[in-house]
């Protein structure tokens, strides 16, 4: 199998695939310092090099290509590979527009009567500000295109909203990705990440999880790619969960009605409001860092699930999850999501996993000789498993505290509120 990507999500996917008896060889492009312990890595082929990935696939002839990141999917990597006879886990460019364009996703939600926030799509600053005013000054500002998880501003007042609009439309901080913005009403409630496997005829729920997007404790500071996650969500009742999966299936139905089949992982980000679940966004791939809690909980063979999805045989397989909870704490470089230092040596990795039920997934690492060094803003995702959320938190933070590198930062409150809701003792 060939896994495209080099972050924590891809390390978790490789970790899961390496445990399957059907996987005899694993290749990753470009990989990282953790992935290269599980797979043969091809570091000179980047995730945005569609032609290079097509050529690599021609040379390697894998039985399955698993595409991790969104950018190559939106750019049409799955289409290019399938047209050359490859089997691919990941949607076409047409299906990946769900993530590639937030305006397109909103249009689809309206068409399918999918519950979501009231919104408008704008290219002009004045009209966008006018809509913010119509919403009472509180709004969510989203760059239409891909912005590496950093194109969303939750504005609790008008000044922040206007600044975010100027950032996108005037300063073009996100380039063409921010030339169009989606302005939404600000919903209230906890966020939920819903993972489902989708093929030509089936939608199979995988798991619910929750991630923590803000850099600071108490959900303060700017958005990041994600500072932690946990699964399952014991505070989500059966009725709400059933409604979530109904919404996911309705989304796939709209795509099929448009003649756009979806094959791969559909990530639906929702908010559980007083009126019920409402969709915030879609992603066309496994989320990060949610993958780092969902894959360790998976009792089913990951390779079986991904192959079945790619070959329209999802109805033949069953998803089973372990009962344990999983909590992931992301260790980030100092300054992230702003400027940060790279090539900083990391110590304590072996000690962190010496005891306890812990897995360490490399998100932004590289090798400098025999030394593992930082190479990104989010460096490591430390996942602990336990009988309860609090037990899993304890495992994750115990291991995280044994890892050191200059400037290391992390949130100390990942899944703390969930543990309180479950009546578990806090560390």
Tell me the DSSP string of 292-332.
HHHHHHB-S-HHHHHHHHHTT-GGG----B-SSEEEEEEEE
Q: Examine the domain organization and report whether 140 and 75 are in the same domain.
A: no
CA gap 420, 425 in Å, rounded? 7
% of the chain surpassing 90 pLDDT: 91
Q: What is the DSSP string of 90-130?
A: S--HHHHHHHH-HHHHHHHHHHTT--B--EEEESSHHHHHH
Residue 276 pairs in a beta bridge with: 273
Is the predicted pLDDT of residue 427 greater than 70, yes or no?
no
Q: Are residues 86 and 27 in the same domain?
A: yes
Provide the CA 188 distance to its chain's centre, in angstroms: 21
The per-residue pLDDT for 222 is 86
Whole-angstrom CA distances from 226 to 106, 114, 404 are: 23, 26, 20
Mean of the pLDDT values across residues 391-417?
97
Per-residue pLDDT band for 424 (boundaries 50, 70, 90) equals low
Q: Is the pLDDT confidence value at 425 over 60?
A: no
Domains in the chain, number: 2
Mean pLDDT of 290-303: 98
| Average pLDDT for the chain | 95
Judgement on whether residues 33 and 76 belong to the same structural domain of the protein = yes
**Nearest by Cα to 33 from 306, 285, 343:** 343
Same domain, 77 and 26: yes
Per-residue pLDDT averaged across 292-299, rounded? 98
- Provide DSSP, 188-244: -S-EEEEEEEE-SS-EEEEEEEEE--EEETTTEEEE-S-SEEEE--TTS-HHHHHHH
- The residue range of the domain holding 48 is 2-91
- 99 within 8 A of 282, measured Cβ to Cβ: yes
- Tell me: pLDDT of 330 over 90: yes
Q: What is the CATH number of the domain that holds 77?
A: 3.40.50.20
The whole-number average pLDDT for the span 191-214 is: 97
- 21 and 82 share one domain: yes
- Over residues 1-28, the pLDDT tens digits come to 999 999 999 999 999 999 999 999 999 9
Choose one of 46, 76, 91: the last residue of a domain.
91
Residue 390 lies in a domain: no
Asked if pLDDT for residue 247 goes beyond 80, the answer is yes
Q: Which of 179, 212, 245 is the last residue of a domain?
A: 179
Q: Is the pLDDT of residue 314 over 90?
A: yes
Question: What per-residue confidence (pLDDT) applies to 356?
Answer: 83
Is 204 within a domain?
no
Cα separation of the two ends of the chain? 41
Structural element, H or E, at residue 80: helix 77-82
* Region 339-355 average pLDDT: 95
Instruction: Dig out the tokens for 177 from the structure.
Output: 């990705």
Q: Which of 52-66, 170-184, 305-319, 371-385 is predicted with the least confidence, judged by mean pLDDT?
A: 170-184
Give the integer Cα–Cα distance in Å for 405 and 59: 38
Please check whether residue 162 lies inside any domain of the structure. yes
What is the mean predicted confidence (pLDDT) over 298-302? Answer: 98
> What is the per-residue pLDDT for 149?
66
- Domain assignment present for 12: yes
Q: Mark which of 179, 197, 225 sits at the end of a domain.
A: 179
342 within domain boundaries: no
CATH of the domain at 168: 3.30.1490
> Which tens digit of pLDDT belongs to each residue from 115-156?
999 999 999 999 999 999 999 999 999 999 887 767 888 889
Domain-located, residue 313: no
Q: How much of the chain, in percent, has pLDDT values that exceed 70?
A: 99
Write down the pTM of the prediction.
0.94
Q: Are 393 and 427 in contact (CB under 8 A)?
A: yes
Q: Taking 50 as the threshold, does the pLDDT of residue 426 lie above it?
A: no
Count other C-beta atoms under 10 Å from residue 298's C-beta.
Answer: 19
- Quickly state the pLDDT bin for 177 (edges 50, 70, 90): confident
Pick 75 or 152 by higher pLDDT. Answer: 75
C-alpha span between 303 and 18 (Å, rounded): 9
Q: Residue 355: pLDDT above 80?
A: no
């Amino acid at each position: 199998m060939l896994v495209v990507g080099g972050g924590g999500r891809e390390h978790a996917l490789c970790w899961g695939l390496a445990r399957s008896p059907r996987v005899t060889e694993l290749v990753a492009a470009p990989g990282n310092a953790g992935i290269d312990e599980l797979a043969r890595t091809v570091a000179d082929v980047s995730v945005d090099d569609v032609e290079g990935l097509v050529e690599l696939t021609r040379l390697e002839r894998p039985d399955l290509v698993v595409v991790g990141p969104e950018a190559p999917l939106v750019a049409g990597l799955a289409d290019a590979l399938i047209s050359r006879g490859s089997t691919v886990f990941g949607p076409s460019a047409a299906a990946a527009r769900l993530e590639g364009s937030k305006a397109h996703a909103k249009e689809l939600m309206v068409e399918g009567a999918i519950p979501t926030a009231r919104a408008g799509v704008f290219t002009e600053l004045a009209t966008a500000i006018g809509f913010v005013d119509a919403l009472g000054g509180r709004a969510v500002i989203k760059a239409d295109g891909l912005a590496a998880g950093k194109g969303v501003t939750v504005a609790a007042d008008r000044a922040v909203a206007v600044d975010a609009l100027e950032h996108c439309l005037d300063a073009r901080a996100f380039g063409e990705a921010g030339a169009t913005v989606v302005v939404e009403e600000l919903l209230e409630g906890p966020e939920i990440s819903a993972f489902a496997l989708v093929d030509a005829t089936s939608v199979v729920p995988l798991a619910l999880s929750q991630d923590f997007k803000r850099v600071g404790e108490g959900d303060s500071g700017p958005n990041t790619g994600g500072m932690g996650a946990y699964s399952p969500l014991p505070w989500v009742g059966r009725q709400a969960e059933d409604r979530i999966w109904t919404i996911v299936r309705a989304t796939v139905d709209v795509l099929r009605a448009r003649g756009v089949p979806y094959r791969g992982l559909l990530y639906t980000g929702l908010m559980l409001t007083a009126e019920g679940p409402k969709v915030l966004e879609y992603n066309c791939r496994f989320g990060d860092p949610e993958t780092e809690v969902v894959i360790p909980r998976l009792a089913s063979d990951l390779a079986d699930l991904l192959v079945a999805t790619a070959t329209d045989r999802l109805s033949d397989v069953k998803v089973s999850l372990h009962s344990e909870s999983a909590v992931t704490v992301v260790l980030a470089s100092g300054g992230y999501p702003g400027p940060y230092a790279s090539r900083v040596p990391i110590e304590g990795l072996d000690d962190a996993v010496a005891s306890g039920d812990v897995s360490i997934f490399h998100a932004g690492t590289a090798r400098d000789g025999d030394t593992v060094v930082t190479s990104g803003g989010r460096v490591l995702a430390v996942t602990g498993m336990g009988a309860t959320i609090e037990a899993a938190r304890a495992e994750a933070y115990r291991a995280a505290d044994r890892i050191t590198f200059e400037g290391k930062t992390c949130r100390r409150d990942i899944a703390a509120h969930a543990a309180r809701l479950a009546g578990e003792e806090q560390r």
